Amino acid sequence: MKRQWLKFNGDVQDADKTLQKTCRRNPPMTPSSIMLAPWRLFQRVGPAIIVASVVLGPGSMLVASKVGCQYGYAMLWILLASSLLMISMTALAARIGLGTRNTLCGELANRFGRPYAMLIGVLLFLVVASFQSSNNMAVVTSVQTVLSSADSGSPPQSLVITSLILFNGLIVAIMFGLKNLYKPLEWLMKFLLLVMLLGFGANLVLAGTAPMEILRGLVPTVSWDVASGFWPVRNPEGQVLDPLLAVQGMIATTFSVAAAFYQGYLVNEKGWTVANLRQGLTDSVFGITVLGGCSAMIMITSASVFHGKLDPDQLRTAADVAGQLEPLFGRGATLLFGFGLFAACFSSFLVNAMIGGLLLSDGLGLGGSIDQAWPRRLTVVALLAGMAVAVFATTTGQNPVNVIIFAQALTILGLPLIAWSLMYLASCRDIRQVVKIPHWMYGMCALGTVVTFVLAARTAWKLWLQLSGS
């Protein structure tokens, strides 16, 4: 009897200790803790916020506006599906990054040889350097939007070019002035995302929404003009027509395989280990949800204000969107949108160049951390290349269309190759023994890889029609 009592007493003490540990890990909910919960979550996440910042650039803003203007709320379900694919691919890259001792390009070099890693690095760098010209042009338009007025019109060209040069110089100074770059970069991207949420959210409130229409837009449907053809065609006049141009652009600017690949580096820069797997999934869900939420706000605003009232072809740049909003909402709302646009330009501008510099450096075997010398040097090369194209286009008035075509041609090979590489690494037994990859995540990423190949095939066919007809 005494022995049973001692055993019972010991069990009670063990249970009490377990309860105390649980309470320390999960303290009881109080009003103050509930109010602080979003801030604590905001502090815990980070890498996917940087990924969201590079994806949510001026290009994605323009595409979301054009889709909302052209289709209304009907394509919200495609944005939702693209966001889910991006969450899965980002979470997969994070797990692979935590499950290997090498960087992702280093791991590919070990398994396929250095030339394979070099190919991925060079392709991505050239894509980034080409599209960096678009980011520079977006900075030009955002400066024009903020500094222009009804009385004086657009600011002088010299002021715009000077602003562009100073902008690039500031980024280079920041990169080489900070010894440890990740933490300041993370907090800067968080701040810029908050600016975007404020700017786009204010315009959404002013636009007014139709909740039932938004819910209908989340139900998968295909509009008549989209169903009329899947592949680009050439009309009798020789023009190449793409019925899915805006829709493909929205998918490509939300489901960015290159940005997801970069997540495998960011989790290591953050200092996470295998013990942070759950935190990594939370980070991916939170960061990409913010990305999808910002795009949805822009699309819903455009659907509420422009659909059926404005030709989508009138929205050629993100600055055109701001200009169309001004007569409706006033100068203050336009300035808020302009600040959101500038935040999107700055975040995408910086991180896009860093992706190119880091992956080229790592592919060449020169270093895979943003705090090392060669990734920073090659990032500066990407910045200068994009700035040179933008300055040329601004001074001559020419559209750098050949640079964009070159970048599109590279994405045909580069992005499917990256998606396949992630899927291959996720299937390796030694990596799966270190980190568990859920079946749902692997299945979603497999679907995302198929989508990447399909988009690449459409882009290849469109380029063939353009080049063969010229």
Q: Tell me if 71 sits within 8 A of 83, measured CB to CB.
A: no
Residues of the chain with pLDDT under 50: 1-8, 11-12, 15, 18-19, 22
Would you say how long the chain is, in residues?
470
Q: How far is CA 454 from CA 105, 265, 350, 443, in A?
A: 24, 27, 29, 17
Query: Rounded to a whole number, what is the distance in angstroms from the first to the last CA of the chain?
Result: 97
Q: How many CA atoms within 13 Å lie on the side-chain side of 249? A: 18
Using the structure block, give the residue that is written with the tokens 């935190």: 279
In order, the DSSP letters of 314-354 are G--SHHHHHHHHHHHH-HHHHHHHHHHHHHHHHHHHHHHHH
**Nearby residues of 60 by Cβ (< 8 Å), 6 or more positions away:** 250, 253, 254, 295, 344
Decide if 288 contacts 54 (C-beta within 8 A).
no
Q: Cβ–Cβ contacts within 10 Å for residue 346, how many?
A: 23
Alpha helix ranges (H) inside 148-218:
157-177, 182-207, 211-217
Which pLDDT score is estimated for 22? 47
**Under 8 Å between Cβ of 367 and 375:** yes
Give the list of residues 6+ apart from residue 35 with CB closer than 8 angstroms, or none. Answer: none
Both tokens assigned to 118: 């070099």
Q: Beta strands 233-234 and 240-241: pairing type?
A: antiparallel
Angstrom distance (rounded) from CA 101 to CA 252: 30
Contact status, residue 284 vs residue 94, Cβ threshold 8 Å: yes
Q: Where are the domains of the chain?
A: 44-468
* 321-324: long-range pairs with CB below 8 Å, 24+: 321/61, 321/62, 321/65, 322/145, 323/145
Phi, psi angle pair for 241, to nearest 5°: -110, 135
Instruction: Output the pTM of the full model.
Output: 0.84
- Find out whether 47 and 259 touch, Cβ atoms under 8 Å: no
The topology under which CATH files domain 44-468 is: Amino acid/polyamine transporter I (1.20.1740)
